[in-house]
Amino acid sequence: MKKGLFSKLVATFAAIIAVSFIMTAAFLSYWFESYYFEQRKGQLTAESAHISSIAVQYWKGTISIDRLTELLTAVAQYDSMDIWLVDSYGYPYAVSNPKQQNVLKTQVLTKELEKLRLNEPVDTIGIYGNIFKVPVRTFDIPIFSGGVFKGAIMMHTSVNELKSTLMRVYEIIWISALFAIIISCIVIYYFSQRIIIKPLAQINYVADKISKGEVEKRVNINSKDEIGILAKSFNSMADSLEEVEKNRREFISNVSHEIRSPITSVKGFIGGILDGVIPKEKENYYLSIAYEEVQRLTRLVNDLLDLSAIEAGQFKLRIEEIDINEIVRLCIIKFEQKIHEKRLKVDVLMQDDNLYVAADRDRINQVVTNLVDNAVKYVGEGGTIKVSTKIKGDKALISVFNDGPIIPERDLKHIWNRFYKVDKSRTSKVSTGLGLSIVRSILTQLGEDIWIENKESQGVTFCFTLKRV
């Protein structure tokens, strides 16, 4: 991964640098060429005054054609160009380079003459038959003598000379491009290591450790960029994984603990009976205790199976129209004996005889039973229980209240956890701490809400909603 990301970055940067340098080179050569010829034009225009005075002398017969050619050759060599003198019909009559003699007597200027007659210099590019191998830039400057057009001076500048200068410029550009690429590689390497590659490697390392069970490992990246955000989300994911792992361990230890105590006592009682340690007349008494323990064990196992099935979504909910008021009434009747034993005062408040909701009958029965069971269990002797159902918009609101001590703030958010009991010592014998987890799992699966309303110096209310039909 390290090599991949780095080489991709380098390739991208090298491409960007290359493109920008090619563009620079193109602009520069265009600019350079026009600048060069502009300069050259100025220089040659100055030179042309001298040449035209020689030409005029020739016309006047002051100097011979040989002398004229000689003088032209000298000027041409000095300025590294070729000079032709052309008459007013466009025919050359003197050339600076003897090798170009065969251009004499061929018309080299036609259209240009019009402009030249108007005393306008002309600027062209051409090879003039086969005289030049590569195109040359030519400046034509008219000659006037006594106001009469006497032809023109043609000054050819080879592009070759410019090419070699440009080549040098390109060379410099490419060498600097190469340097730029090398330097940017070093910079990219340094920064990508610091900003991306090392942090990613760290996240990768920690992910590997976590997957091997070291769930307490975290990444330590504090940058404010996307990598920092990734590290943050990664850490919070690790937090929840650690939490899940902690819950799993706790769950296993709780289950083993809950199962071990009834099994130990059942084993003790039956062993005592078999050994004869327990006297015959007490056998029945101990057997009934053992029976209760086995029943408790059965309930525990059933609760656990229910819970895992609900959480795994294996219980197919059978949604039907049910009367929640009827379920509440039947449930209270189920607890009649316990209510009587604890001399409790029970209030049932309902707006109507029936309140129809869409839910799974058996599961809602389990919810109401668990909540009423808790109320009956945790209310004080001679206390009050209030169960009410009412309509709230398109929902039915069911609440189960019991007076007595409220649930401490710090326990509120744990109360839904499996095996969580507020008062571990007092309730350990009669409860397992699974009731509320089951309640919440069922309601979550139905897409409904449940919450606790603690009322200081009054008691505790559990409220939940169901969808009305």
Residues in the site for ligand ATP, rule: CB under 6 A? Answer: 370, 374-375, 378, 402, 407, 415, 420-423, 427, 431-437, 460
Residues of span 18-47 touching Mg ion by CB under 5 A? none
Task: Tell me the residue length of the chain.
Answer: 469
Q: Which residue number, 122 or 406, has a Cβ lying nearer to ligand ATP?
A: 406
CB of 319 to ligand ATP, least distance (A): 25
Minimum separation from the CB atom of position 253 to ligand ATP (A): 17
Both tokens of residue 46? 């100055």
Cα–Cα distance measured from residue 213 to residue 202, given in angstroms and rounded to the nearest whole number: 17
Return the CA Rg of the chain: 52
Neighbours of 226 (CB within 10 A): 10
CB of 266 to ligand ATP, least distance (A): 19
- Least spacing, CB of residue 388 vs ligand ATP, in Å: 15
Asked if 422 and 399 count as a contact pair (C-beta separation under 8 A), the reply is no
- For 352-412, the three-class secondary structure string (H helix, E strand, C coil) is CCCCEEEEEHHHHHHHHHHHHHHHHHHCCCCCEEEEEEEEECCEEEEEEEEECCCCCHHHH
Per partner kind, with CB cut-offs from 5 to 8 A, the member of ligand ATP, Mg ion, none near residue 218 is none
* Cα 98 to the center of its chain, rounded Å: 75
Give the residue with the Cβ less far from ligand ATP, 334 or 467.
334
Shortest Cβ distance from residue 335 to ligand ATP (Å)? 13
Q: Identify which of residues 149 and 420 has a Cβ nearer to ligand ATP in the complex.
A: 420
State how far the Cα of 142 lies from the Cα of 149, in Å rounded to an integer.
7
Q: Is the dihedral of CA 65, 69, 71, 72 positive or negative?
A: positive
Pick 90 or 435: Cβ nearer Mg ion: 435
Is the CB of 210 or the CB of 371 nearer to Mg ion?
A: 371
Binding-site partner at residue 445 among Mg ion, ligand ATP, none, CB < 5 to 8 Å by type: none
Residue 390: CB minimum distance to ligand ATP, A: 19
Tell me which residue of 467, 326, 450, 464 sits closest to 393, measured CA to CA.
467
435 binds Mg ion (CB under 5 A): yes
Interface mask toward Mg ion for 173-202; x: CB under 5 A: ------------------------------
Residue with tokens 């008219």: 142
Q: How far is the CB of 442 from ligand ATP (least distance, A)?
A: 13
CB 142 within 8 A of CB 119: yes
Rounded Cα distance between 28 and 373, Å, is: 90
The distance of closest approach from Cβ of residue 336 to ligand ATP in the complex, given in angstroms and rounded to an integer, is 18
Using the rule CB under 5 A, is 92 a contact of Mg ion? no
407 binds, among Mg ion, ligand ATP, none (CB under 5 to 8 A by kind): ligand ATP
Give whichever of 265 and 427 is closer to ligand ATP, judged by the CB atom.
Answer: 427
Q: How far is the CB of 270 from ligand ATP (least distance, A)?
A: 25
Measured CA to CA, the distance from residue 398 to residue 395 in angstroms comes to: 10
Q: Which residue has the tokens 């100097």?
A: 63
Backbone angles phi, psi at 395, to 5 degrees: -115, 155
Among 69, 97, 369, 374, binds Mg ion (CB under 5 A): 374
Residue 425 CB contacts under 8 Å (≥ 6 apart), including other chains: none
Per rule CB under 5 A, is residue 142 in the interface with Mg ion?
no
How far is residue 387's CA from residue 352's CA, in Å, rounded to a whole number? 14
CA 308 to chain centre: 36
Q: For residues 131 and 368, which CB has a smaller minimum distance to Mg ion in the complex?
A: 368
CA distance 462 to 178: 75
Q: By CB under 5 A, tell whether 432 contacts Mg ion.
A: no
Nearest CB to ligand ATP, comparing residues 71 and 304: 304
Residue 375 binds which entry of Mg ion, ligand ATP, none, with Cβ cut-offs from 5 to 8 Å by kind? ligand ATP
**Residue 54 near which of ligand ATP, Mg ion, none (CB within 5-8 Å, type-dependent):** none
- Candidates 35-43, 65-73, 324-332, 430-438 — which segment interacts with Mg ion by CB under 5 A? 430-438
Please say whether the beta carbons of 222 and 205 come within 8 A. Answer: no
Which CB atom, from 150 or from 418, has the smaller least distance to ligand ATP?
418
Measured CA angle at 407 (ends 401, 412), to 5 deg: 105
Q: What's the CA gap between 399 and 390, in Å, rounded?
A: 9
Partner interacting with residue 378 (select from ligand ATP, Mg ion, none; CB below 5-8 Å by kind): ligand ATP
As measured in angstroms, the least distance from the Cβ of 402 to ligand ATP is 5
Which residue number is nearest to ligand ATP in terms of Cβ?
435
The residues of the shown chain that bind Mg ion, judged by CB under 5 A, are 374, 435
